[in-house]
Amino acid sequence: MESELRKSEERYALVAMASREGLWDWNLASGIIYFSPRWREMLGLGEEVEHSVEA
């Protein structure tokens, strides 16, 4: 099962890199937001962008 999960994650990472799209993911439970490097590049932003929000 762990091997299949790893393969799935690798496929997702390859698709994300190949698409050249800016991606973000917001975990509503924790308030943590992930911004892909391409997303930051597209908007001209650096690491100073907030990574979390308070509910």
Q: Total structural domains in the chain?
A: 1
- The whole domain housing 55 covers 21-55
Residue 25 lies in a domain: yes
Residue 34 lies in a domain: yes
What's the pLDDT at 32? 86
Q: Is the pLDDT of residue 55 over 60?
A: no
Q: Is the pLDDT of residue 54 over 80?
A: no
Residue 35 lies in a domain: yes
The tens digit of pLDDT for each residue in 14-42 reads: 887 777 788 888 888 888 888 888 888 88
C-alpha span between 47 and 42 (Å, rounded): 13
Q: Please state, as a whole number, how many other Cβ atoms lie within 10 Å of the Cβ of residue 40.
A: 16
The tens digit of pLDDT for each residue in 10-21 reads: 988 888 777 778
C-alpha span between 12 and 5 (Å, rounded): 11
